[in-house]
Amino acid sequence: MRTLLLTLFLFGGLAAGQDVPWPLAPGGEEGDAKPAAEDDSTDDADEDDADEDDADEERWFALVGGTVYQSGAWLEGTTVLSKNGRIVAIGTDVAVPEEAETLDVSGYRVYPGLVAFESRGIVGSQPGDSTDVFGLNLNLALATGITTVGAGTQVAKLTWGTLEGHDLGEANLVRIDVSQASLRARLREDLERVQAYLRDAKIAAAAKARGEDDVKEPSSKFLRGKFAGYRDLLVGTKRALANADTVAELVAVTSFTKRFGFRAVVRGAMEGWTLPGELGRAGISVVVTPRARRDRDPDRLADNGWSIENAARLHEHGVEVALLPRGTGISMGGLAGGDLLTYPLEAAFAMRGGLEEDAALEAITLTPARFLGIADRVGSLEVGKDMDALVVKGDLLHYQTLVEWTVVNGRVAYDKAKDSLFEHIRPRDGQADENREVPLIWPRRGNAPESPERPR
């Protein structure tokens, strides 16, 4: 609906003969409807959209003239153009088609939409089949700038108001449990079995290739269920996901990765700062919570317990770091600062411990996307990736910065000025620092407030 209104407004302006500030290319003619793609933008982006590439079905969207954050670099006065939800051009001289829906973001910063590695209560347990795309938690997550979440074993995008492009399928992770000796023993057995199979299959394939007859291929019937997952692990198409906080647990995970050669994502890694090099060399990546605490046990000689510098130390030693808050849901109870509602602040706390800004931003965007196996689509603003972005005035990691717009798949999924939730806080049209005066409304059952508002 907002899209429609926005488009209507823009077209209405034209029709009325007003001087609507069309974000055309500088000196661009009205007739120049085609987007001038960047040198490095490929036409592959268009060809890939086989299902959506109908001439009548083109849906253009552009964020115009903002300061765009692209993997560590700040691009000033830059326009990001998308077609059917995919970015087709990023640059300072992008010509935007007339029929495009545009958002003038000059004076604002454009960041990639945030990716939360884990979430609860935001999308449905089986997202494609149960998400409430009008849900309050979804709305709040978008207001925080989150555009993609992991939920259980699934991954989903926060497509407000539509199921199109919502379900991204399964995450690229295989869960393993190394918490108990018996489980570790079983895991070792199973992995050895799969490893033996792979070795034998490789030998058999080579023999076949040489033209040898009488090649006995190993039976692959057992490669079902968890074994299929283990096969993906050993072959390298998926990563393992394990919970490990203490040094003992972390070492358990490294023993597996070193022995079997797969990559693992460790959730927690509270004591990771005591052995960061070890983790790096063992191919371990981590999802850490900067403020997860366990006090140091003075009876142990070695370093132990938590450290605010966990993320920074691990990152220094080449470990991929993603971040998550203590709570992975969104709570409306009022206790703030510990759940996804303040997701960017987790990155700020990681910086408190010494993590650099670019790494901190990556830890809440591209790195979790990589862990989930969707980094080809989300996590950064690149041509060919999905048009998922958030727009803020100022520094995203400053505690006073609230998201102004959130775009998902080339649609405005959240507009702070139009959504009542945060609209009154440093409103966009008002003065920079003052809040809008909102009267105290007393709830009178059954009676409407003085001016009942049209539902959004």
Given the rule CB under 8 A, which residues bind other proteins? 1, 124-126, 129-136, 161-163, 291, 293, 295, 307-309, 332-337, 342, 345, 348-349, 351-352, 397-400, 402, 420-426, 435, 437-438, 440-449, 452-453, 455-456
Nearest CB to other proteins, comparing residues 159 and 254: 159
Beta bridge partners of 239: 173
Task: Tell how strand 389-392 and strand 154-157 pair up.
Answer: unpaired
In the complex, minimum distance from the CB of residue 274 to other proteins, in angstroms, rounded to a whole number: 14
Which helix (H) or strand (E) segment holds residue 369: the answer is helix 366-372
* Nearest-5° Cα angle at 303, 302 to 305: 125
In the complex, minimum distance from the CB of residue 126 to other proteins, in angstroms, rounded to a whole number: 5
Nearest CB to other proteins, comparing residues 205 and 438: 438
Nearest CB to other proteins, comparing residues 183 and 336: 336
In the complex, minimum distance from the CB of residue 197 to other proteins, in angstroms, rounded to a whole number: 34
* Nearest-5° Cα angle at 109, 107 to 111: 165
In the complex, minimum distance from the CB of residue 88 to other proteins, in angstroms, rounded to a whole number: 27
Q: Sign of the C-alpha dihedral, residues 123, 125, 127, 129?
A: negative
Nearest CB to other proteins, comparing residues 49 and 395: 395
In the complex, minimum distance from the CB of residue 336 to other proteins, in angstroms, rounded to a whole number: 4
CA 377 to chain centre: 10
**Is residue 58 within 8 Å of 84, Cβ to Cβ?**
yes
Nearest CB to other proteins, comparing residues 302 and 440: 440
Q: Sign of the C-alpha dihedral, residues 356, 323, 75, 393?
A: negative
Nearest CB to other proteins, comparing residues 38 and 423: 423
In the complex, minimum distance from the CB of residue 60 to other proteins, in angstroms, rounded to a whole number: 22
In the complex, minimum distance from the CB of residue 409 to other proteins, in angstroms, rounded to a whole number: 15
Nearest CB to other proteins, comparing residues 74 and 399: 399
SS3 128: helix
Burial 330-352 (b: 16+ CB within 10 A, else e): beeeeeeeebbbbbbbbbbbbbe
CA distance 115 to 390: 11
In the complex, minimum distance from the CB of residue 325 to other proteins, in angstroms, rounded to a whole number: 12
Residue (of 252, 293, 245) closest to 272 by Cα position:
245
Nearest CB to other proteins, comparing residues 237 and 420: 420
Q: How far is CA 164 from CA 42, 53, 98, 406, 454, in A?
A: 24, 15, 24, 17, 26
SS3 213: coil
**Is residue 36 within 8 Å of 26, Cβ to Cβ?**
no
In the complex, minimum distance from the CB of residue 310 to other proteins, in angstroms, rounded to a whole number: 11
Amino acid found at 384: G
CA distance 24 to 304: 58
Residue 376, token pair as written in the block: 């080809």
User: DSSP letter string over 231-263?
Assistant: HHHHHTSSEEEEEE-SHHHHHHHHHHHHHH---
In the complex, minimum distance from the CB of residue 429 to other proteins, in angstroms, rounded to a whole number: 16
CA distance 62 to 39: 18
Nearest CB to other proteins, comparing residues 136 and 248: 136
Nearest CB to other proteins, comparing residues 29 and 437: 437
Other C-beta atoms closer than 10 Å to the C-beta of 95 total 23
Nearest CB to other proteins, comparing residues 132 and 212: 132
In the complex, minimum distance from the CB of residue 290 to other proteins, in angstroms, rounded to a whole number: 9
